[in-house]
A and B are shown apart, each in its own frame.
Chain A
Amino acid sequence: MVSVEFKNVNFNIKKEKILNNINLNFEPGKIYGLLGRNGAGKTTLLSLIATYQKVTSGELTVAGENPYENERVLPLVNFFHQSNYNDDTDSIKAFFELRQLYYPDFNMSYAEDLLAEYKISRDKKMSSLSQGQASVIEAIMGLATMAPVVLFDEVTNGMDAPSREKFYKQVLNAKDRENRVIVLSTHMVSEMDYLFDEITIIHHGEVLVNETVDTFLESGYEATGHIEAIKQFSADKNVLHSRTLGTTRAVSILGQITEEEMQKMDELDIRFAPIKLQDLFINMTDDK
């Protein structure tokens, strides 16, 4: 079983701190959501695991070893990001076959099954793929290579809504998922939140949140009711987000709900529901 561990990892480019004191542990069998605003350091963090770059200080291990220039470890990690295949004259089939040469565990029949779901011909040239189709190929390679650590960096960008839905389903049903670490970096938080077992929020190069989705969502709740009742109820609370439709208002509130508050909500005819991951994420990463 392969896990990924960051211990006090720093990454600088010249004098600029890109990642600061990162402590994380990605374990097999879990799907991790890696969230953060643009430029927060998500891609850099993933690229360090894939050894695209070298950590400046601290300890990063994959399968208990330093992955940098490690011939044994590098094939265990697959990092997928938006790539340009405009110059690639190979067909999809030849592209997969090339991958199979270097990754003996690449499951060709699995790849072809996944490809069939998107109705993309395996004889199609890589150079003629649309941006969305290229993303699909990246996603398929990520699942079919069968590497124990799969890192998807905004891989659904460019995919249409049905393709994204298929991808989410395929990730949940990924072969050998119990032995694989899957990390999904995304901006589509509201669409993908049900996929994640744990979430990691990176903000200004630091880990802001690293916990299970359930624990994270317990840090807030959503209350819906008549506008006046909500005003009264939320007057002394930390409201993250508010939506009004006619005389109905829904507010996202930070903080755990108490018995007393439950009673008050009953009295005011206010319904409550778990807070949305996206609302919490937006609030926590808002610098205002």
Chain B
Amino acid sequence: MKNNRVRLATNHLNWAGFFGMAWYVAIFTLIYIALFLIFGSAELDSMSYTSIGLNANRVFMLVMGIIVGGGYISWAFSLAITRKQFYKANLLSGLIISAILVAAILLVGLLVNLLPFTGTEGIIELQMHPVLNIITVFIQTYLAYLAGTLIGMGFYRNSWAGTLAILITVVFNMSPDTLDPYIVDILNTSNGVGMLIVTTIYVIILVILNYVYTRDVAIRV
């Protein structure tokens, strides 16, 4: 990051993200423990903290993306950060927060799993190497953030762009699961590889779409 303004903006967006993340992880952990204490593991399909947490991360990152995408461009502009610099900072910050959030849930999950009343089952059992599993979860989390920023920026531009972004988000969030078995069948590979491939392609598409949405956005006075 040679450009000082991009580095500064990335840092500021990171701190905003970390602040939200700290609240989210703490509240999510408390709710998980409280639910399993009150209802018992069997009532909740014995779902593990990590499994629920990694899925909930996507919702959190989608919301963070919407807030940053639509709410921070005017802030950035008031500090002489160009649209392109904001775009770079936003993408970098989303990447960093996604990685740290996945790591945080995995780490807290190790501690929560020590409690005797918690669950142990995963929502989807992928057959890939554990590292590939984690990479897939990380890319899914980042995808949610990018989808969020597209929605936020879309509605900042106008309602049509925002609505289109919501449609793209719905398709991009639902289809990797659906397409996985077909791709696995074609490539004759492990369950989950299809999801990883499709999600990666969607991330690339959203990186491009975010640029298209940001590059000439009119800043509101």
Partners in one complex: yes
Chain A residues within 8 Å of B, Cβ to Cβ: 43, 47, 52-54, 69-71, 74-75, 77, 81, 83, 98-99, 101-103, 153
Contact assessment for A101 and B219 in the assembled complex, using a CB-CB cutoff below 8 Å? no
Nearest neighbor of A99 in chain B, beta-carbon distance: B79
- Once bound together, how far apart are the Cα atoms of A52 and B77, in whole Å? 8
- Count of interface residues, chain B, beta-carbon cutoff 8 Å: 18
Q: What sequence of 0s and 1s flags, for each residue 82-102 of chain B, a beta carbon within 8 Å of any chain A beta carbon?
A: 111100000000000000000
Nearest neighbor of B83 in chain A, beta-carbon distance: A69
Contact assessment for A102 and B219 in the assembled complex, using a CB-CB cutoff below 8 Å? no
Contact assessment for B221 and A74 in the assembled complex, using a CB-CB cutoff below 8 Å? no
Contact assessment for A69 and B84 in the assembled complex, using a CB-CB cutoff below 8 Å? yes
Contact assessment for B81 and A47 in the assembled complex, using a CB-CB cutoff below 8 Å? no
Contact assessment for A98 and B79 in the assembled complex, using a CB-CB cutoff below 8 Å? yes
Chain B residues within 8 Å of A, Cβ to Cβ: 3, 5, 8, 77-85, 215-216, 218-221
- Once bound together, how far apart are the Cα atoms of A13 and B166, in whole Å? 25
Contact assessment for A53 and B218 in the assembled complex, using a CB-CB cutoff below 8 Å? yes
Contact assessment for A102 and B5 in the assembled complex, using a CB-CB cutoff below 8 Å? yes
Contact of B221 among A54, A77, A98, A153 (CB under 8 A): A153
Contact of B79 among A69, A77, A102, A153 (CB under 8 A): A102
Most chain B Cβ neighbours within 10 Å, of A53, A75, A102: A102
Contact assessment for A47 and B80 in the assembled complex, using a CB-CB cutoff below 8 Å? no
Contact assessment for A52 and B5 in the assembled complex, using a CB-CB cutoff below 8 Å? no
- Once bound together, how far apart are the Cα atoms of A83 and B221, in whole Å? 8
Contact of A52 among B3, B79, B215, B219 (CB under 8 A): B219
Contact assessment for B219 and A75 in the assembled complex, using a CB-CB cutoff below 8 Å? no
Known: A102-B5, A102-B8. A53 touches B79 (CB 8 A): no
Contact assessment for A43 and B79 in the assembled complex, using a CB-CB cutoff below 8 Å? no
Contact assessment for B216 and A74 in the assembled complex, using a CB-CB cutoff below 8 Å? no
In the complex, 19 of the A-B residue pairs with CB atoms within 8 angstroms, ordered by the A residue number, are A47-B219, A52-B77, A52-B218, A52-B219, A52-B221, A54-B216, A54-B218, A69-B82, A69-B84, A70-B82, A71-B3, A71-B5, A71-B82, A74-B81, A75-B80, A83-B78, A98-B79, A99-B79, A102-B81
Contact assessment for B219 and A74 in the assembled complex, using a CB-CB cutoff below 8 Å? no
Neighbouring B residues of A98 by C-beta, 8 Å: 79
Min CB–CB distance A70 → chain B (angstroms): 8
Min CB–CB distance B70 → chain A (angstroms): 13
- Once bound together, how far apart are the Cα atoms of A83 and B83, in whole Å? 20
Contact assessment for B8 and A47 in the assembled complex, using a CB-CB cutoff below 8 Å? no
Nearest neighbor of B9 in chain A, beta-carbon distance: A102
Neighbouring A residues of B80 by C-beta, 8 Å: 74-75, 77, 102-103
Contact assessment for A101 and B8 in the assembled complex, using a CB-CB cutoff below 8 Å? yes
Nearest neighbor of A52 in chain B, beta-carbon distance: B219
Known: A52-B77, A54-B216. A81 touches B221 (CB 8 A): yes
